[in-house]
């Protein structure tokens, strides 16, 4: 019984997804680049969002494209398999800032 519970806890942890959110009113797209993968965030109004399971340990970026001007890059902190984290950012004036909470 104990082994079954431990196995279930390990499997649940391995399936944990990180959440990435960026508030960027004028952006036309947002793309997460982590672990050699490139995945687009879904847009809802001014918010781009993605739940993503990381297959590696390391950092990454979210690159936002705008109809005018240069792209903006948000630097994602350390991700690791089985550790669900929430990364929140806000783009204002051509800069990306992390948002607490």
pTM here?
Answer: 0.82
Q: Domains in the chain, please, with CATH?
A: 2-98 (2.60.40.1120)
Helix runs in 18-101, H state only: none
CA distances from 22 to 27, 56, 60, 70 (A): 10, 22, 14, 17
Quick one: residue 67, left, alpha or beta (phi over 0 = left, psi -120 to 50 = alpha)? alpha
Round the average pLDDT of the chain to a whole number and report it: 87
- Looking at residue 50, its pLDDT comes to 97
Q: Is residue 89 predicted with pLDDT exceeding 70?
A: yes
Instruction: Give pLDDT, residue 4.
Output: 42
């Amino acid at each position: 019984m104990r082994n079954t519970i431990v196995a279930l806890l390990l499997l649940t942890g391995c399936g944990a997804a990180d959440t990435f959110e960026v508030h960027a009113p004028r952006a036309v797209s947002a793309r997460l680049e982590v672990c050699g993968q490139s995945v687009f965030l879904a847009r809802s109004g001014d918010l781009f969002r993605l739940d993503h399971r990381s297959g590696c340990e390391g950092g990454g970026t979210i690159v936002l494209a705008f109809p005018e001007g240069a792209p903006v890059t948000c630097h994602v902190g350390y991700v690791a398999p089985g550790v669900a984290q929430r990364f929140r950012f806000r783009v204002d004036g051509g800069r990306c800032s992390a948002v607490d909470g």
